[in-house]
Amino acid sequence: MLLKSQIQNSKNNRFRSLGIWLFSIVCNLVFGIWNFHYAYAQPGRDAIIINGDTVEYSMDNKEVSASGNIVINYKGSTLTCDKISVNTQTKEAVAEGNVHLEDSKGIITGSKMNYNFNDKTGLIQDAGFRSLPYFGQAEKLDKINEQEFIAYSGSMTTCNYDHPHYRIESKKIDYFLREKVTARGNIFSICGVPILYLPKYTHNFAREKLMNIEISPGSRKGWGPYMLTMWRYNINDKIEARFYLDYRWQLGAAEGIGLNYNTGPFGHGDYKFYYTKEIPKDKEGEKIGGRFERYLARWRHKWDIDKRTSMTAEYYKINDQKRKLNPDQLLSFTDESNDFLKYYFFREYELASQPLSYIFLHHNFNYSSIDLLFQRRTNHWYAQLDKAPELKYSLPNIRIAGTPIYFENNASLGNFFKNATTSPASSVNQSVSRFDMTNKFSLPLKVVFLQLTPFVANRETIYDKGADGRSIPKRTIFYSGADLSTKFYRIFNVKSNLLGLDINGLRHIITPTVAYDFNPKPTISSDKLKQIDEIDSITRNESIGLELSNKLQTKRNGQSVDLVNVRASTNYILRPSGGGGSRFTDFLFDIELIPYSWMRLRSNAIYGYKEGYFKEANVGLSADLGKERSFGIGQRYARGGGKELTSQLIWRLNSKWKFRIYERYQFAKALGEGLKEQEYAISRDLHCWEMDVSYNISKDNGHTIWCVFRLKAFPELEFGFEQSYHPEEAGSQSNP
């Protein structure tokens, strides 16, 4: 019995040991699965989710190995490869075979990558990258952090072909995603042929939309064949330079430099200097005149001193020997070549034909503002008003305590110098010091359905001297008047799609406005004052301003839109100071029709009541017929100043070709009836480039032809010659 009992205990011990051993294995397995699941597979716990054909986990090395169709998603990034090993504690990984790392900012590929999922750093071999607008490749790519990587011995381009049309081969590319790229030791190649060496290339995505290198060849009357070149170069993060080197066959060489700079706390600005010493030649290359030194120096600066204070400054200096036959005689302006700004920089001339040099300081208070302006003439042929300085204070309508009365104040103090040009026909120079202040009180009232605003004002002006150079007392002017307006509207329950107009109800709004203004004769008449500006020419005035606005609205896609907007206005002068009976002034008309979302008709006109005819009338029709398909036509009429018809058609034929036609026709025989200007342009899509060929025929400038290649990634160009149709400005779009 004892032996049998011992045998039974021995069996029980063996089963007990086997059970403990199996229980231990199960516990370790459960613990391992639990640890892997919560440490590496739980979203929201910095999990690395690994999917693959084969996935193995090593408890000893704390490492996950996987192979075959690997996909890993971690913190917004997706990594795919053929084989990978990941340390579950340090989050460091080694990926091999068809490595592809992608996030919202770009894509990096390679044959092998050492990568840290925590800080998103790594080293990639045989790398490729894509972060719009650039595509690139490199022998080695060092991912510094989430925002930056450095590519060594690589290239980049905006062409996404395997064999790009062009590329920039670089020793080192420092790429800050969505911010900027800087490449050093660059060779610019087209179709594999080296074209240009660039020691440094920088592109700032935030502020640069222009190409870094521009070459514009062409031919133009007065210039002959020409070649304009511009190279942009980033000196550092704060200064960007532009170098100009141009050649015009009939004028010679010209060069210049431009700088865009940012001083940080002291604002930003730009500088441009352009110089030429013209040697005029005829078409055959024979000299036809002497040498003329001509240059432009321009500086502009903007400084936001604090949230309420800002400074703006501009300086223009033009030296132009071609304007003078001799030091005392000004050349005729009938030839545009005598105007340096117009002849060389027509786009700037359109913005300001006589640019000013000044320094302007502005400061906002809680309810008012103050301005300080220094303005001096820098080019003697400009008839310009100098202000040295002028101080202005403005207090807009502000309610007085708890009363319904509003107060407004405007004051100015300045020294003024009215300069004459060197032309003998110009007026003599004048100077004056003046203090001017206006105080106005108004009382807005709601009378039934009328908005009535009566007001009174007082203007005091002090001069240091009168027109005869002697001292004079202060000038006082009293103003009074009232503004009266209201709105009438009616809603029509109309719903129709006749002719595709998409009318969903109609609202007709009529807004009449009447304004009465009166001021007696000033205590000092205008003929006793030096005439500097409109302040000095004030006389007695009593007038009634009349305006009537008609607007027709409907709803489209839940939004209120204007179908028709018509405004007419005039003034009725009572007992004018110049003598004669009461009369109307000119009638002003503004009309805007928008029958469809893609079509707009605008018109404005001035009708002379006294003369009995239209002095000006402009009509413009513009239609957007689809992407890069538009049409515009307009007529501009000025009595005694010509009658022109201008039109433009832009039409994309297909994905590769687009053409543009511009025409300007003059109907007035006195100004040379017929086509004044024609321009024909055709664009060809070259995948990453666009080629534009334009031909312009002008009665003033002769024949001009130019060819431009522009990168799609940087569509804007420094040079601009093309003419375009400008529609009429829109009228008031105020809602009731």
Phi-psi region of 321 (alpha: psi -120 to 50; beta: other; left: phi over 0): alpha
728 pLDDT tier (thresholds 50, 70, 90) = low
CB-based contacts of 45, cutoff 8 Å, min separation 6? 38, 39
Residue at token pair 């009363």? 403
**In the CATH scheme, what is the homologous superfamily, with its name and number, of domain 50-204?**
Lipopolysaccharide (LPS) transport protein A like domain (2.60.450.10)
- Per-residue pLDDT averaged across 70-75, rounded? 88
pLDDT at 169: 93
Q: Give the whole-angstrom CA distance, residue 159 versus residue 153.
A: 19
Number of other residues whose CB lies within 10 A of the CB of residue 601: 17
Q: What are phi and psi of 10, to 5 degrees?
A: -65, -40
pLDDT at 207: 59
pLDDT at 508: 95
Task: Name the least confident of 73-77, 148-152, 559-563.
Answer: 73-77
CB-based contacts of 614, cutoff 8 Å, min separation 6? 605, 606, 607, 608, 637, 639
Alpha helical stretches, state H, 487-603: none
Number of other residues whose CB lies within 10 A of the CB of residue 632: 20
Task: Return the higher-pLDDT residue of 589 and 500.
Answer: 589
Task: Return the higher-pLDDT residue of 131 and 98.
Answer: 98
Mean pLDDT of the chain: 85
CB-based contacts of 659, cutoff 8 Å, min separation 6? 650, 651, 653, 680, 681, 682, 683
Contact status, residue 509 vs residue 487, Cβ threshold 8 Å: yes
pLDDT at 443: 95
Question: What one-letter code names the amino acid at 55?
Answer: V
Is the pLDDT confidence value at 19 over 90?
A: no
pLDDT digits (tens, 9 = 90+) for 562-616: 999 999 999 999 988 777 788 899 999 999 999 998 999 999 999 999 899 999 9
Q: Give the whole-angstrom CA distance, residue 548 versus residue 567.
A: 6
pLDDT digits (tens, 9 = 90+) for 390-414: 999 999 999 998 899 999 999 999 9
Number of other residues whose CB lies within 10 A of the CB of residue 725: 19
pLDDT digits (tens, 9 = 90+) for 650-673: 999 998 999 999 999 988 887 778
Number of other residues whose CB lies within 10 A of the CB of residue 708: 21
What's the chain's Rg over C-alpha atoms? 38
Q: What are phi and psi of 366, to 5 degrees?
A: -65, -40
Task: Name the least confident of 39-48, 366-375, 495-504.
Answer: 39-48
